[in-house]
Amino acid sequence: MSASTTATSSSTSKYGRAFRERLWRLSGINFISLDTGEYRGPHSDQRSVPMTSRRLLTTATAGACSLVLLGAAGSALETTMTSAVTQPNTQAPASETIRPFRISVPKAALADLRRRIAATRWPTKELVADRSQGVQLATLRELARYWTTDYDWRKVEAKLNALPQFVTKIDGVEIHFIHVKSQHENALPLIMTHGWPGSVIELLETVGPLTDPTKYGGTPGDAFHLVLPSLPGYGFSGEPTELGWESGRIAQAWAKLMERLGYTRYVAQGGDVGASVTDAMGRQAPKGLVGIHLSLLAGALGIADRLPAKSEQEQAAHKALATFRTTGFGYFLEQSTRPQTIGYSLLDSPVGLAAWLLDHDTDSYYKISRAFVDGKPVGNLTRESIVDNITLYWLTQTGTSAARWYWEFGQLLARAGSEAPPPVKVPVGFTTFPGEIWAAPRSWVETVYPGLAYFNAVDRGGHFAAWEEPKLFSEELRAAFRTVRSTRGATR
């Protein structure tokens, strides 16, 4: 879950002061430059310095380069990128080139993963019959069994490699993204952002419905060109090496990415952290952005005292918000104050990582637990896709770097205090999914986004709506952006 820069009430100011009291300095991150091969970091004047567990090395070859991520056990996760491809602007500086990206995980890395799972030291069973003490032992035991005996990483690796993947450096960080162009004329470019504890994997099943709608009950006029970036510090994107990568800076990077791809008119969508990034894009209103769609009213956290509480739906939403603040805030508080502390466990224990990723919200937890314990998945929240996502975090060693976004958000709140953010300057669409952490009624959404252009409350789906219900989610995006489409097309 994320909280947006729309937080403007006095409660936000108190929240900001609380974060001021917890200020602490992140240690510097050391790395090898992907461009020059030179060592950079706070100790760049030293020849031998301990590196972070996610170390980047590059070796140039004739027309190709390899990105190698060295694991703690010495195994290597190698991804191969062919030479830089031609840009729409062929005069673009080398630092702005877009390079094809392909994943190839060595067998040793997968063997090391299975060994670590088998070596797990398990706690005793929880003393309650629900998740109130955390992720339940039976759920994790069955997940671990499936992970080591039935799961095959190569399937999702092939699935990702079947899609056009790329990397490009923006503001000093290597950004990984999937870019699927529709065959339909006048398709509308869409940049869609995942969140925590997700990745581009949670969006994969929307690729077909969004880019090729005629196969999924839509029309050619519903088509999108789809851009799915991995957030900085997540998945195959690079890890920021300096402070300041909060949602606003990521939003600026996404605008630069769309410009670099040659898109002059496009829309954006996001949930969870992605909702915060997309909200920031709407407030920044970069040239070419013509609309946004959200599935989480993240700003509700900061303005609860100003949100309507008369109707049954409004009262239910307030109750859900209060529940999150009292019993669902654990991961949020840890990551926004001490991401480095939990990070050691996330990179050292696969089962510890899995437990932390599963302990997010009540609705999605029970759906995921049901998939493992009872063999009854809900929608696309299958055992395989859930473990795909967890394994991606493990292999890329990004649990810590991904969690740091919450720390950056906390610092942003501390700096902003009670200062109101600028208004959103583009049309806003919003879909409420019933299983969301708090299912925002229309009155709440209109409080945050006056002049709301599109709203719908659907009958199924939760926090991971695109993952759980990709067809329904895609239908909502088609409807939300229908009014901003242009028959003139939206590309180069």
* Banded model confidence at residue 91, pLDDT cuts 50, 70, 90: low
Using one digit for the tens of pLDDT, what is the confidence trace for 212-258? 999 999 999 999 999 999 999 999 999 999 999 999 999 999 999 99
Using one digit for the tens of pLDDT, what is the confidence trace for 103-115? 999 999 999 999 9
Is residue 256 in some structural domain? yes
| Rounded distance between C-alpha atoms, residue 266 and residue 351, angstroms | 40
Of 263, 366, 406, 454, the active-site residue reads 406
| Rounded distance between C-alpha atoms, residue 237 and residue 231, angstroms | 7
Of 112, 212, 222, 272, the active-site residue reads 272
| Rounded distance between C-alpha atoms, residue 362 and residue 134, angstroms | 10
CA dihedral 406, 26, 50, 48 (to 10 degrees): 140
Residues 6+ apart with CB under 8 A from 291: 267, 268, 426, 427, 428, 429, 453, 480, 481, 484
pLDDT of amino acid 41: 33
Closest CA to 429 of 333, 297, 311: 297
Is residue 360 in some structural domain? yes
Among positive and negative, which fits the CA dihedral 347, 348, 350, 352?
negative
Bridge partners of 55? 70
- The answer to whether the beta carbons of residues 456 and 318 sit under 8 Å apart is no
Q: Kindly state the percentage of the chain with pLDDT values over 90.
A: 75
| Rounded distance between C-alpha atoms, residue 31 and residue 178, angstroms | 24
pLDDT of amino acid 86: 31
pLDDT of amino acid 95: 72
The helix (run of H) or strand (run of E) holding residue 82 is: strand 76-82
| Rounded distance between C-alpha atoms, residue 431 and residue 160, angstroms | 28
Is residue 40 in some structural domain? no
The total of other beta-carbon atoms located within 10 Å of residue 24's CB is 9
What is the residue-wise DSSP string for 102-128?
A: EEE--HHHHHHHHHHHHT--PPPPPSS
SS3 329: coil
pLDDT of amino acid 413: 83
- The answer to whether the beta carbons of residues 64 and 80 sit under 8 Å apart is yes
Told to judge if 406 belongs to the known catalytic residues of this protein, a careful annotator would answer yes
* Banded model confidence at residue 126, pLDDT cuts 50, 70, 90: very high
Among positive and negative, which fits the CA dihedral 466, 235, 438, 376?
positive
> Phi then psi for 282, rounded to 5 degrees?
-65, -35
* Banded model confidence at residue 5, pLDDT cuts 50, 70, 90: very low
Bridge partners of 69? 56, 77
Domain count of the fold of the chain? 1
Closest CA to 161 of 227, 243, 84, 103: 103
pLDDT of amino acid 418: 74
CATH number for 155: 3.40.50.1820
pLDDT of amino acid 20: 34
The helix (run of H) or strand (run of E) holding residue 17 is: helix 10-21
In the predicted structure, residue 54 carries a pLDDT above the cut 70 = no
| Rounded distance between C-alpha atoms, residue 315 and residue 321, angstroms | 10
The whole domain housing 204 covers 10-28+108-484
Is residue 308 in some structural domain? yes
Distances (CA, A) of 320 to 131, 306, 335: 16, 16, 21
- The answer to whether the beta carbons of residues 437 and 328 sit under 8 Å apart is yes
Q: In angstroms, what is the C-alpha Rg of the chain? A: 22
The two tokens of residue 208 are 């077909």
Helices (H), 70-164: 107-118, 137-149, 153-161
Is residue 145 in some structural domain? yes
Which range, of 75-89, 237-251, 385-399, 445-459, averages the lowest pLDDT? 75-89
Residues 6+ apart with CB under 8 A from 321: 300, 301, 304, 438
The helix (run of H) or strand (run of E) holding residue 99 is: strand 99-100
> Is 137 exposed, middle or buried, given 0-12, 13-18 or 19+ CB atoms closer than 10 A?
middle
Is residue 372 in some structural domain? yes
Is residue 331 in some structural domain? yes
Q: What is the mean pLDDT of residues 42-52?
A: 31
Between residues 415 and 187, the one the model is more confident about: 187
- The answer to whether the beta carbons of residues 398 and 234 sit under 8 Å apart is yes
The total of other beta-carbon atoms located within 10 Å of residue 164's CB is 12
Using one digit for the tens of pLDDT, what is the confidence trace for 329-370? 999 999 999 999 999 999 999 999 999 999 999 999 999 999
| Rounded distance between C-alpha atoms, residue 5 and residue 297, angstroms | 11
Q: What is the mean pLDDT of residues 390-407?
A: 98
What is the residue-wise DSSP string for 407-443?
A: HHHHHHHHHHTTPPPPPP-S-EEEEE-TBSSS---HH
Q: What is the mean pLDDT of residues 475-483?
A: 97
Is residue 68 in some structural domain? no
Q: Kindly state the percentage of the chain with pLDDT values over 70.
A: 80
